[in-house]
Amino acid sequence: MTKLSRRTVLQAAAATTLLTSGLARSASGSTSPPKIDNLLWYIGTAKEWVEALPVGNGRLGAMVFGGTSQERLQLNEDTLWGGGPYDPANPEAREALPEVRKLIFAGEYEKATELVNAKVMAKPSRQMSYQSIGDLRLVFPGIETATDYRRELDLDGAISTTRFTSNGVTHTRELFASAPDNVLVFRLSASKPGSVDVDVTFRWPRPSRPADPPGDKLKQGSSQTAGPVEFDDSVPAPANLVLRALPDGDLIMQGRNSAQLGVAGALTYEARARLIVTGGKKQSNESSLGVRGADSVIVLIAMATSYRDYQHVDGDPAALNKAALDRAADRSFEELLSRHQTDHRRLFRRVQIDLGRTPAASRPTDERVLTSMTSDDPALAALYYQYGRYLLIASSRPGSQPANLQGIWNDMSNPPWGSKYTININTEMNYWPAEPTDLGECVEPLVAMLKDLSVTGAKMAKTMYGARGWVTHHNTDLWRATGPIDGAKYGMWPMGGAWLCLHLWDRYDYSRDVRYLESVYPILKGASEFFLDTLVEHPNGRWLVTNPSMSPENNHRPDVSIAAGPAMDNQILRDLFANTAKAAGILNRDKEFVASLEATRKRLPPDQIGAQGQLQEWLEDWDAKVPDIHHRHVSHLYGLHPSGQISVDYTPKLAQAARRTLEIRGDNATGWGIGWRLNLWARLRDGEHAHGVLKLLLGPERTYPNLFDAHPPFQIDGNFGGASGMTEMLLQSLKSPQGDDEVWLLPALPKAWPQGSVTGLRARGGLRVDLNWRGGSLQECHLTAIRDGQWILRSGNSSLPVSMKAGRSQTLKLSKGTLSAT
């Protein structure tokens, strides 16, 4: 394990003082601990965006800061991106690729890189950015001081609440994002009638913000005092923006998205707010609404763009927003909340987890993060786990866009990495916890995006490679761009679509829904056809390899990543070809095509073990000489996780080589890099090492006060990778070489979780699994079959075959190391 850094030790020491003062406040009665576990809570306002609390309904998102005299709701709508429909295919690429391949096979990697940069990259050579729609700003006249302050995010109820007392009046502010009613709902209420005064206006986003200074993102520790949220109004309004209050009482902000990279802005957008006032008077001017003397105010917020799909941008956002607000305004706050929570809990409550509880769980959330490296707080891991599930529900729903690099939460028009879909790990990691934690519906936006990419990628495959099928490289955006971008060093990797196809197969494998498989089979087939056409023979005459390609973002020599047949490509292709062939067999079609897949699969290079005992990242044993031996990507360990090609049981030598690779790379990486390592150590069934990696992920260097993952800056994939990794510690659903569905129970349980339970996890084949354990040992496993099936249950050295009909349940127990049915 990585040793604690000096900075971590200093942070822990500082946190001791912080904790002492926090407990004193708690003892005084001003900040009582929460009464439910699925709660993030704080005793001060958010000063930074990564302290604000997220709500979302898949399409709409907001970050609430919890101010007292001022409040900021930072807003997002998931189709507001830069640019418009565009075709990045570069016709020069097809002619240049044969020479690129020749140079790579000759070892002239620098020359190949130069040629790729000159002739092969997409045009433009970058993609469009996801953008914030702006803020809703609220100012509360007369509120100057506040006591008894607390703000919280209830994960089970999917509602953010801020509560404080000022001048003897208790103010309560509640925000949620309703999927059934397609609006944000923000209620302002007070304990004394006539005490709600507020002025409301919209504000446009800032273009960008500086990256976090190293070590400074938690400088504030716990927010110590309640107070105003400071507004930054230094950014001038965009020229094409309209901000006004309409005669019917709605407040609107309308605009057009920006041009990017020479691609004209094609979207119009609108944010619209409606105030429903009880017991007070509403006033307005040209660009704001005000309320005086109200008992309560409900602010309904709708947002939309003119986007209909990646080719059509002729929607009417104003009509969509007005219709949504009209429908929502006909319902009471209680009805809106009930509809929202019923819908959210239908998903969220499928899984419950208890890893134990210590006194540390009674602290405010930011204090728990600050002291997490040195405290015993298993409930923080459980909270982080459920927070990951909450974020997936909030950022990816049927009909929405998939979760991007920041889910849906972004406060800039030019965010880091464009907040795009990075499909050489990050987008895939977003969806790792979906199937095992019973959130399969949340994968539907990803499936829909893949259907789009199979169309735009088919044009790219033909224009760039002269190939059948479809391809996409290491990034895509709202417009479903599929070309290589960001230069040869990062972008010359044709495997993004092939990796995403694993999620298509997993969606089937967990449900065994043949109708669904029929709908996605053409995508699997098209992805496979592309590689049947583009794999080239290696000079050794035995192997078929990708060329040009790379091992994502890692250089095998200074500033050179381009290569032929890296290990990850071969592992992904083994899965793609096998899963496509299995799908064709289930659907009873394309026998000749399947034969070509199987023949080609046999000629893919095998995984190799290098001189250091490590799993080789490339065909050549370059690993010991790479510029960054601790690189954040561990691409060649795809075969261990998320794939199951490498396993402790069936490929022990390769599993040992994977372990050696992890030892060389080290545990401490970027946030998502640590998340991937967590999953890998769990697959190696090393619960103690996995738990140590989890501690790194939950520590203040990699987790912000609001529990967002710190790359840094914020990327949401680390949150999802963390939830997935904890699932892998408790349950693993894998295939044996014979094709059996094997379910491992508590395969990487650490000593830090001696007792606990988890209910509602899913295994392949349609099996629900509930577990509880005591003294570090399985006590009981309850199984429920969603479909008819057969499974092999494993715990330690014991295994038990189980056959069940749909709807039937069975309970297993472990006694003296042996599994048995009761």
**Could you give the CA distance from residue 706 to residue 41 in angstroms, rounded to a whole number?**
9
Candidate from 5-9, 472-476, 687-691 with smallest mean pLDDT? 5-9
Q: Report CA-CA distances (Å) from 484 to 284, 363, 683.
A: 50, 47, 32
Residues 478, 130 contacting (CB under 8 angstroms): yes
Mean of pLDDT over the chain? 93
pLDDT at position 23 over 50 = no
Class of residue 149 by CB neighbours under 10 A (exposed 0-12, middle 13-18, buried 19+): buried
User: Residue 127: what pLDDT?
Assistant: 98
- Mean pLDDT of the 56-76 span: 98
> What are the beta bridge partners of residue 757?
354, 772
Lowest-confidence range among 206-210, 284-288, 710-714?
A: 206-210
Percent of the chain with pLDDT over 90: 90
pLDDT for 33 equals 53
Alpha helices, DSSP H, located in 85-173: 92-105, 109-115
Preceding peptide of 737 cis, ω within 30°: no
pLDDT at 561 over 90: yes
Q: Residue 209 has what pLDDT?
A: 60
What pLDDT sits at residue 338?
98
Q: Find the mean pLDDT for residues 488-503.
A: 97
What is the DSSP code (8-state) at residue 264? Answer: P
What single-letter amino acid sits at 202? Answer: F
Residues forming beta bridges with residue 257, ordered by sequence position: none
pLDDT at residue 229, as a whole number: 75
- Residue 727 clears pLDDT 70, i.e. is over it: yes
pLDDT of residue 248: 72
Domains and CATH numbers, the chain: 31-81+129-204+226-349 (2.70.98.50), 422-663 (1.50.10.10), 744-821 (2.60.40.1180)
Q: What's the pLDDT score for residue 234?
A: 78
Q: What is the β-pairing status of strands 421-422 and 242-245? A: unpaired
Q: Which helix (H) or strand (E) holds 280?
A: none
Using pLDDT thresholds of 50, 70 and 90, give the confidence band for residue 2. very low
% of the chain surpassing 70 pLDDT: 93
User: Averaged over 726-734, what is the pLDDT?
Assistant: 98
- The average pLDDT across 343-370 equals 97
- pLDDT over 80 at 6, yes or no: no
Band of residue 237 on the pLDDT scale cut at 50, 70, 90: confident
**Confidence at 15, pLDDT banded by 50, 70, 90:** very low
Dihedral of alpha carbons 342, 348, 351, 353, sign: negative
pLDDT at 19: 32
Average pLDDT over residues 35-59: 94
Phi, psi of 205 (to 5 degrees): -80, 160
pLDDT attached to residue 429:
98
Query: Where do runs of H (alpha helix) occur along 713-765?
Result: 717-730
Query: Running DSSP on this structure, what letter comes out for residue 782?
Result: E
Q: Extract the runs of DSSP E, i.e. beta strands, from 110-247.
A: 134-139, 147-154, 159-166, 169-178, 183-190, 196-203, 242-245
CB neighbour class for 314 (10 Å; exposed up to 12, middle 13-18, buried from 19): exposed
C-alpha–C-alpha distance, residues 406 and 504, integer Å: 22
Q: What is the pLDDT of residue 226?
A: 65
Answer yes or no: are the C-beta atoms of 270 and 307 closer than 8 Å. no
Which has the minimum average pLDDT: 153-162, 172-181, 241-250, 671-680? 241-250
**Residue corresponding to tokens 């339970």:** 757
Mean pLDDT of 403-422: 96
In this prediction, residue 810 has a pLDDT band, given cuts at 50, 70 and 90, of very high
* 461-490: average pLDDT: 98
Query: Rounded to 5, what percent of the chain is helix, strand, coil?
Result: 35, 25, 40
Grouping H, G, I as helix, E, B as strand and the rest as coil, residue 643 is coil
Residue 706 has pLDDT above 90, yes or no: yes
pLDDT in tens, 132-182: 999 999 999 999 899 999 999 999 999 999 999 999 999 999 999 999 999
The rounded distance, in Å, linking the Cα atoms of 297 and 278 is 6
pLDDT on residue 732: 98
Find the mean pLDDT for residues 307-317. 98
pLDDT tens, residue by residue, 220-231: 344 445 666 777
Nearest CA to 694 out of 659, 662, 730, 725 is that of 725
Nearest to 548 by CA among 104, 91, 89: 104
- Strand ranges for 568-625 from DSSP E: none
Give the pLDDT score at 17: 30
pLDDT 10s digits, 635-649: 999 999 999 999 999
Q: Are strands 741-745 and 789-795 parallel, antiparallel or unpaired?
A: parallel
**Confidence tier at 677 by pLDDT (50, 70, 90):** very high
Q: How far apart are CA 470 and CA 462, in angstroms?
A: 8
H or E element: which one contains 804?
strand 798-804
What per-residue confidence (pLDDT) applies to 24? 29
Contact indicator for 552, 635 with CB cutoff of 8 Å = yes
Task: Give, rounded to a whole angstrom, the gap between the first and last alpha carbons of the chain.
Answer: 40
